[in-house]
Amino acid sequence: MTILYLARHGETVDNANQIMQGQTQGELNENGILQARQLSMEWQDRPLDVIIASDLKRSIDTARIIATPHHIEVVTTHLLRERDWGGFTGRFIPDLKGEIWPDDIETLENLLSRAGEFIAYVKKTFPGKKVLAVGHGIINKAVQAVYYNKPMSEIQRMSNAEVRTLEL
CA distances from 128 to 66, 125, 133, 134 (A): 21, 10, 15, 19
C-alpha 139/C-alpha 55 separation (Å) is 13
**All residues at 6 or more sequence positions from 52 whose CB lies less than 8 Å from its CB, including other chains:** 63, 74, 75, 76, 77, 80, 122, 131, 132, 133, 134
Among 9, 70, 106, 136, the active-site one is: 9
9 is in an annotated binding site: yes
22 marked as part of a ligand binding site = no
- Do residues 20 and 104 touch, judged by C-beta distance below 8 A? no
Known binding residue 11? Answer is yes
Q: Is residue 13 annotated as involved in ligand binding?
A: yes
Whether 15 has a binding-site annotation, put simply, is yes
Identified catalytic residue from 30, 42, 71, 82: 82
12 is in an annotated binding site: yes
User: Can 82 be counted among the known catalytic residues?
Assistant: yes
Annotated binding residues, as ranges? 8-15, 58
Q: Annotated binding residues for substrate, as ranges?
A: 8-15, 58
- Active site residues per annotation: 9, 82
